[in-house]
Amino acid sequence: MFGLKADWSLDVQDRYFTIEDYEGAQPRWCTGCGDHGVLTAVQKVCREAQLAPEKIVNVSGIGCSSRLPHYMKTYGFHGLHGRALPFASGIKARRPDLDVWVSTGDGDCFSIGGCHWIHGIRYNIDMVVLVFDNAIYGLTKNQTSPTTPKDYGTSTHPSGSFLPSMNPLTITLGITNVSFVAQVVDWNPLLVYETIKMAHAHRGTSFVRIIQRCPVFVEDIHKGMVDDPSQILLLKHENGIPTNEAVERIYPNQVEHDPSDWMGAMAIARDESKVPCGLLYHDPAAPVYDDWSNVGMGMSDEEKIAGVNKALDSFSI
Amino acid sequence: MTKQATAQKSNVAEISAGKPKRIEEHIIEVVSDSGEGAQKCGQTFGTVSGKMGNGVWTVEIIPAEIQPPARSKEGASGVRIRLGSKYVTNMGDQADLVVAFNEQVLYNRIVNGAFRKGTVVLLENKWAEDPQPAIREQYAAALADFKERGLVIHELPFEKECLKIVKNARKGKNMFVLGMLCRIYSRDTQRALDEIAKAFARKGEKVIKPNHELFKAGYQYAAENLEYHYEVLPEKEGVQSPTIVTNGNTAIGLGVLASGMDCLAMYPITPATSASHYLADVFHLTGGFMHQAEDEIAAAAYAVGSSYSGKTAVTITSGPGMALKTEILGLAVMCEVPLVVVNVQRGGPATGQPTKIEQGDLLSAIYSMPGDAPKIVMAPATISECFHFVITARKLAEAFRTPVIILTDANLATAVQPYDRPDPQAEWLAAPIDQSEWDKNIPPYDWDDETGLSPRPIPGQPGGEYVLTGLAHTKRSKVAYDSMSNQIGCNMRSRKISAVAATLQRPEIYGDKEGDILVVSWGSTMGAVQEAVDRMRADGHKVSNVHLRFLHPFEKDLKEIFSKFKKVMTVELNYSDEPDMPLVSDATRRYAQLANILRHQTLVDIDCWSIVQAAPLQPGVICEAVLGRLKKLN
């Protein structure tokens, strides 16, 4: 009845959260690291959605990006190399009330956590997965990652890495039951914010690859992209990531892409001459694993005991 | 009882008129190719006997492959049943009577020491006239060999008799054999017919009827053609108190239900998987969820995640899975996340012997993690304890904020026994999660100085927000950059184990409190060890047993208990050097796993005897080993 309750009182929120309510420890990432901007965007999205901090769990693996939970004033789970997704899946399994966010990196997700990446996408559990892809192992100091460009010199491949870099977009798109794939560059705060906001609004696993600068080890990999916006391909669509005039003025290469068009998404992902930025694929109807894992919750002790007795009786002699 | 059933009973009663020989116990085996239903035959026989009030222990004989080649030595599939007047606690020694569907599978049992001179073998005889000359030759050669080995062979036409009733004897032979065994051991035929009807209830009368006929034909055949006719009278007729019959893996599953756990995360691995199969079938009865993860690591991580979120979780696996889960369990120790881990041990290392028993994971359960990773390790000794230990483990995990590893093994997993039906209690169930406001002044690891214990904030509790981290951390769960925080964290986690130890009782001594040899055992070997101790004591030897259920930390007063015996030795199913092996000296001898820990914990010169021969221990073999040690002592 026009926002009024039966007792004629107004529906006023009793708690209002500001950015400070989500701010944890002072970030210890390097100056100029792309992670700072992503953290700010995550905090803004939380505030925008007015998420109760105690209902948020930030889960991570190991690496620079995986320090993010420490910088949020929410519950956090800073786990083990590569295992963020199965930890997060377990956290969400029987707690649909929790808002689960995963921060992971190119080494953490695409290499040591590769198996969990594939299956995590397939489970399509309701969570946001932010992959901070800086194309290098940072925290362990400058080793080749799956997305390090071919011939790029690192501590483990001083004469240049042997293999062509992995394409995480085509792989993710190729996994059955994928429901949300977006890519963004860390140096456009508006796009980062809008992308994460949309990822959070999606029910299912929202996979966001963030091309992220590492000024300490691989500054030159991303410098070209930052200096020459024509290397970016901006994806536009009414169902895609919202853009504005300012953004559109920066990136001369743009394409209309319907995120429900999987073949189109795959074609864009395959073309490595440009770095696509926007929502590649979105299927809000993909089955969500939570719908199975939440079944049976809230049974009373009496019901449970009756269940145990039933099970025991089937073995009675 | 229907009119028809009454008619059946009277018919059968007439045949049973001859007077059977009364015996205390017998060990019976049914061995066949895989898929011929020997296990169903044996389990039905066991259930009928359990209902009559007999002591029963049945154990499956399982080949490693799903469809091993027919008539192969390695492919033996079947069941062993130990039937007694009294309560039976283990599979016993060599078999008294064996039913075999072909002669080749018997070799598997022979190499496993399952038979003795005089073991009676009822053998399918159709192979003697097989169209293939090679098979006829194999059969003839084996027969001659069996006679030389002292087996008493009776060649019988199972197949031919079954074909009088059904078109495919492969599908019915097991019920024919069940009928034979029920006649030989004077089983209650009505109970057997009821069990058959129950087993095929889903398939309807169309299937029940021919199986009933096969059963009756087998019964009649044995009555008319076999001289063997025994009576194994139960001490008390019928079931005395509410009783259930399950194997150990099902008992684990029932324990998970009764402990009110929310979540099982698993990955398929033999011989643990049947526990998860069972839960997949029934977990909905208590509202639980089973997650089949993409790998063993993910299964453990999922369970830890769920537990972190306040829900109780278990992961069930076997040795190779434990190896993979190691890093996750280390995190659970470091971050003090409660978790129940069931390891149904099999032979190792690597893939080892998937379907066979070994107690080889004790040391790795306690020590496999990098750094100092104290946790609780316990081992049920019986199938009934498989049930109750899960409930205890969940409570310990939560009270002490730690992983608890339950070590069972392939013997407990597949052995079937009647035991007291548990009476589920509300206090066995996990409490609902606390979502009340958390006092911000209390850190997430508010360690009690004396016990190391601390309460745990659960996501959703306002004011409790903290970031769990696998890195060394302070009591506020902040990454430790100073030198003392790691020391304090290690102290506190270790202190919890001392606190657990302080709650444990002194273990009971089986036999006299002092004597020549004290045999120390753990896990599934208890029944066989105690039976061996009984036999040795009956012969006047001063031998006792202490069976340990807590392996980390240990139960109380072990050193004091040990001090009353001239010699203390463990009997285990894992590898150890015998003192007389080449190049083995006091300085280099590698001890069995429990002996190893007991030696350093108690500084007592504890001896050990252990084998890794892919089978449960026979009491007779234990007697031989212990008496050998006794001889050297005196």
Contact between A54 and B328 using a beta-carbon 8 Å cutoff: no
Nearest CA in chain B to A113: B298
pLDDT of the residue at A6: 60
* Residue A165 to residue A134: CA distance in whole angstroms: 12
Contact between B470 and A304 using a beta-carbon 8 Å cutoff: no
Q: Provide the token pair at B434.
A: 């606390």
The pLDDT mean for chain B works out to: 94
pLDDT band at B112 (very low <50, low <70, confident <90, very high): confident
pLDDT of the residue at A8: 62
pLDDT band at B589 (very low <50, low <70, confident <90, very high): very high
Contact status, residue B56 vs residue B185, Cβ threshold 8 Å: no
- Please give, rounded to a whole number of angstroms, the shortest distance from the CA of A306 to a CA of chain B: 8
Amino acid at B75: G
Contacts of B304 in chain A (CB under 8 A): 87, 90
pLDDT of the residue at A14: 80
| Angstrom distances, CA of residue B576 to CA of A1, A314, B604, B608 | 79, 42, 18, 8
Which of A261, A290, A275, A234 lies closest to A173, judged by CA?
A261
**Domain boundary assignment for chain A:** 19-313
User: Mean pLDDT throughout B512-525?
Assistant: 98
Which of A212, A201, A209, A147 lies closest to A182, judged by CA?
A209
Contact between B464 and A89 using a beta-carbon 8 Å cutoff: no
| Angstrom distances, CA of residue B582 to CA of A70, B588, B589 | 57, 11, 10
* Residue B434 to residue B451: CA distance in whole angstroms: 23
Contact between B308 and A52 using a beta-carbon 8 Å cutoff: no
| Sequence-ordered strand ranges (E) for B411-500 | 416-420, 467-469
pLDDT digits (tens, 9 = 90+) for B144-156: 999 999 999 999 9
Contact between A54 and B327 using a beta-carbon 8 Å cutoff: no
Nearest CA in chain B to A289: B291
Contact between B250 and A315 using a beta-carbon 8 Å cutoff: yes
Contact status, residue B545 vs residue B528, Cβ threshold 8 Å: no
Domain B3-231, classified CATH 3.40.920.10, yes or no: yes
pLDDT digits (tens, 9 = 90+) for B191-204: 999 999 999 999 99
Which of B296, B410, B407, B412 lies closest to B362, judged by CA?
B407
* Residue B67 to residue B64: CA distance in whole angstroms: 9
pLDDT of the residue at A7: 64
- Please give, rounded to a whole number of angstroms, the shortest distance from the CA of A226 to a CA of chain B: 34
pLDDT band at B163 (very low <50, low <70, confident <90, very high): very high
Q: Which residues of B242-276 are buried (b: 16+ CB within 10 A; e: fewer)?
A: ebbbbbbbbbbbbbbbbbbbbbbbbbebbbbbbbb
Asked if residue B2 has pLDDT above 50, the reply is no
**Domain boundary assignment for chain B:** 3-231, 244-426, 434-503, 509-633
pLDDT of the residue at B63: 82
- At a CB cut-off of 8 Å and minimum separation 6, what does B198 contact? none
One CATH from 3.40.1260.10, 3.40.50.970, 3.30.450.40, 3.90.1720.10 for A19-313:
3.40.50.970
pLDDT of the residue at B75: 85
Q: Provide the token pair at A163.
A: 């293999």
Complex ipTM, two decimals?
0.96
Contact status, residue B344 vs residue B275, Cβ threshold 8 Å: yes
Closest to A307 (Cβ–Cβ): which among B50, B285, B457? Answer: B285
CB atoms within 10 A of CB B501: 15
Task: Please report the residues numbered 36 through 75 in chain B whose beta carbons come closer than 8 angstroms to any beta carbon of chain A.
Answer: 47, 50-51
Contact status, residue B96 vs residue B120, Cβ threshold 8 Å: yes
Interface A-B: count of C-beta contacts within 8 A: 204
| Angstrom distances, CA of residue B328 to CA of B305, B368, B490 | 10, 12, 18
Contacts of B463 in chain A (CB under 8 A): 54
Q: Which of B56, B294, B315, B334 to mutate to test the interface with A (most CBs of A within 10 A)?
A: B294
Closest to A94 (Cβ–Cβ): which among B263, B284, B466? Answer: B263
The low-confidence residues of chain A, meaning pLDDT below 50, are 1-3
Contacts of B311 in chain A (CB under 8 A): 93-95
Contact status, residue B527 vs residue B571, Cβ threshold 8 Å: no
- At a CB cut-off of 8 Å and minimum separation 6, what does A203 contact? A126, A284, A288
pLDDT of the residue at A4: 54
Nearest CA in chain A to B329: A80
Topology of B509-633 in CATH? Rossmann fold (3.40.50)
pLDDT digits (tens, 9 = 90+) for B405-452: 999 999 999 999 999 999 999 999 999 999 999 999 999 999 999 999
Q: Which residues of B549-578 are buried (b: 16+ CB within 10 A; e: fewer)?
A: bbbbbbbbebeebbeebebbbbbbbbbbbe
Contact between A86 and B301 using a beta-carbon 8 Å cutoff: yes
pLDDT digits (tens, 9 = 90+) for B36-49: 899 999 989 999 99
Contact between B287 and A304 using a beta-carbon 8 Å cutoff: yes
CB atoms within 10 A of CB B418: 27
Helix (H, G, I), strand (E, B) or coil at B37: coil
pLDDT of the residue at B3: 41
| Angstrom distances, CA of residue B614 to CA of A192, B69, B355, B360, B618 | 59, 21, 9, 11, 12
Contacts of B293 in chain A (CB under 8 A): 86, 119
- Interface contact B245, partner A, CB < 8 A: yes
- Interface contact B471, partner A, CB < 8 A: yes
Which of A21, A258, A172, A92 lies closest to B309, judged by CA?
A92
Helix (H, G, I), strand (E, B) or coil at B176: helix
Contact between A86 and B282 using a beta-carbon 8 Å cutoff: no
| Sequence-ordered strand ranges (E) for B298-432 | 313-317, 339-345, 376-378, 403-409, 416-420
pLDDT of the residue at B73: 87
Closest to B245 (Cβ–Cβ): which among A78, A88, A315? Answer: A315
Q: Provide the token pair at B552.
A: 């980390």
* Residue A65 to residue B504: CA distance in whole angstroms: 45
Contacts of A88 in chain B (CB under 8 A): 305
pLDDT digits (tens, 9 = 90+) for B59-79: 988 887 888 889 998 888 999
Contact status, residue B138 vs residue B104, Cβ threshold 8 Å: yes
Q: CA geometry: angle at B173 spanning B167 and B176, to 5°?
A: 110
pLDDT of the residue at B169: 83
Contact between B288 and A118 using a beta-carbon 8 Å cutoff: no
pLDDT of the residue at B13: 43
- Interface contact B277, partner A, CB < 8 A: no
Which of B296, B258, B291 lies closest to B276, judged by CA?
B291
* Residue A170 to residue A165: CA distance in whole angstroms: 12
pLDDT band at B12 (very low <50, low <70, confident <90, very high): very low
* Residue B598 to residue B553: CA distance in whole angstroms: 11
pLDDT of the residue at B97: 98
Contact status, residue A173 vs residue A262, Cβ threshold 8 Å: yes
pLDDT band at B17 (very low <50, low <70, confident <90, very high): low
pLDDT of the residue at B543: 98
Fold: same for B3-231 and B244-426: no
Contact between B309 and A57 using a beta-carbon 8 Å cutoff: yes
Contact between A83 and B301 using a beta-carbon 8 Å cutoff: yes
Contacts of B339 in chain A (CB under 8 A): none
- Please give, rounded to a whole number of angstroms, the shortest distance from the CA of B288 to a CA of chain A: 6
pLDDT of the residue at B252: 98
- Interface contact B575, partner A, CB < 8 A: no
- Determine the CATH number of domain B244-426: 3.40.50.970
User: Mean pLDDT throughout B171-194?
Assistant: 96
